[in-house]
Structure 1
Amino acid sequence: MRVAIAGAGAVGRSIARELIANGHRVLLIDKNPESIKPDRVPKAEWLLADSCELSSLEEAGLEHCDVVISATGDDKANLVTALLAKTEFGVPRTVGRVNHPNNEWLFTEAWGVDVNVSTPRIMSALVEEAVTVGDLVRLFTFRRGNANLVEMTLPEDSPYVGKPTGLIPWPENTALVTILRDGQVYTPSAEQPIESGDELLFVTAADSEEELERLLAPVEHG
């Protein structure tokens, strides 16, 4: 897979190293000459150019990329890069870095962003996931599927403690993906019971989240 990354700062370089380690071809693009440091990621291609300019993206050969990642520290630049990649070059998958949480609402398919990655949201979700019991914590949004990856730590007073997952009336458009228990990962089967303290990972539609909370934690959510 060929991946272009706009923004060759610390974030962009880190992403590039991970992708290269997984066998992908990576092109790093940055308009700042001081950011062009091929010795930091020697197996990547490098291009000194402005990813917001159509001519630069043509030079980068974006039409041959499978994924474009907008990873600069400027939300405006990330949006423009994603939009050009999607509309002008037909890149199948675009990922946009959100630097300021107030701008997250812009990072949608309307601006050519298939997946947005908000560092503030991820950090707050990790904090909530670590300390909350009986509340759903949204970890990730799947834009194309209009669904979310959510987590709940099952409270002691849940009516479904000890019940097999196959007997639980899950809300529509909801799937239990994984059960995390005592450091182990369990693939849920219909006979697999859930226990107090289990971390449950679901993929669910946004409009089913409230029903899921009420189902598993009715004391907390009425």
Structure 2
Amino acid sequence: MRVAIAGAGNVGRSIAAELVGNGHQVLLIERDPDSMRPERVPDAEWLLADACELENLRQAHLEGCDVAVAATGDDKVNLVVSLLSKTEFAVPRVVARVNRAENEWLFNEEWGVDVSVSKPRLLAALVEEAVSVGDLVRLLTFRQSQANLVEITLPLEAPHVGKRVAEVPLPHDCALVAIIRGRRVIAPTPDDTLESGDELVFVCHEDAEEATRSVILGKRR
């Protein structure tokens, strides 16, 4: 997979290092010479350029990328990069960083954003996830599909504790994608049994969240 990342600050470099370590091709685009530190991610390509300029993105051959990531610390820049990536270069997947919570509503398909990652929302979700047992916590939103990545930690009294995954009547537009049990990450099969304390991770349409909570926990808010 080839990935272009606009913004080579701490966030952009961290993403690049992780992707390079997983065997992907990564191009970092940075307009500030002081932030150009190729030695930090030596296996990535680096381009000193303003990612808001169409000609610079042509030079970067953005049309050949599978994913574009707008990871700068400026929401206006991230929106422009997202829009250009999608409309001018037809990048299949555009991921954008949201720096200010009040701007989150702008990061949608009209601006070319497939997935937005809000640092304030993500931090809040992580706090909720750390302390919430017996409730549904929304971790991430997939903008195009109105689907969310959600988590439920099973309390001891949950109705399906001890039952097989196949016995859980999940609503339409909801899929169980992982069971986190201690240090293990389990790709669930129909015969796996749910245990108290399991962290269940679902991809779920927002309209199905309440039904999912009711099925898994046997209660409503």
Listed one character per residue, the Cα deviations across residues 75-116 of structure 1 (whole Å, up to 9, x for unaligned) are: 010000110111111112211111111211211111011111
Any stretches of 5+ residues in structure 2 without a counterpart? none
Listed one character per residue, the Cα deviations across residues 121-165 of structure 1 (whole Å, up to 9, x for unaligned) are: 222111111110111011122334432221101122222222332
- Secondary structure of the residue aligned to 1:34 is helix
- Secondary structure of the residue aligned to 2:157 is coil
TM value normalised by structure 1: 0.90
Q: What is aligned with 2:115?
A: 115
Q: What is aligned with 1:7?
A: 7
Question: Contact 2:4/2:27 (CA < 8 Å) preserved in 1?
Answer: yes
Question: Contact 2:108/2:144 (CA < 8 Å) preserved in 1?
Answer: no
Q: What is aligned with 2:166?
A: 166
Q: In structure 2, do the counterparts of structure 1 residues 5 and 190 end up closer, same or farther at CA, with 3 Å as the change threshold?
A: closer
Q: What is aligned with 1:130?
A: 130
Any stretches of 5+ residues in structure 1 without a counterpart? none
AA in 1 matched with 2:43 = K
Q: In structure 2, do the counterparts of structure 1 residues 136 and 61 end up closer, same or farther at CA, with 3 Å as the change threshold?
A: same
AA in 2 matched with 1:99 = N
Q: In structure 2, do the counterparts of structure 1 residues 74 and 212 end up closer, same or farther at CA, with 3 Å as the change threshold?
A: same
Runs of 4+ residues over 6 Å off in structure 1: none
AA in 2 matched with 1:20 = V
Matched, 1:71 2:74: no
Pairing 1:16-31 to 2, within 5 Å after superposition: 16-31=16-31
Q: In structure 2, do the counterparts of structure 1 residues 37 and 167 end up closer, same or farther at CA, with 3 Å as the change threshold?
A: closer
Q: In structure 2, do the counterparts of structure 1 residues 74 and 163 end up closer, same or farther at CA, with 3 Å as the change threshold?
A: same
Larger Rg: 1
Q: What is aligned with 1:190?
A: 190
AA in 2 matched with 1:60 = A
Greater shift, 70-79 or 44-53, is seen at 44-53
Question: Contact 2:181/2:198 (CA < 8 Å) preserved in 1?
Answer: yes
Q: How many residues align?
A: 221
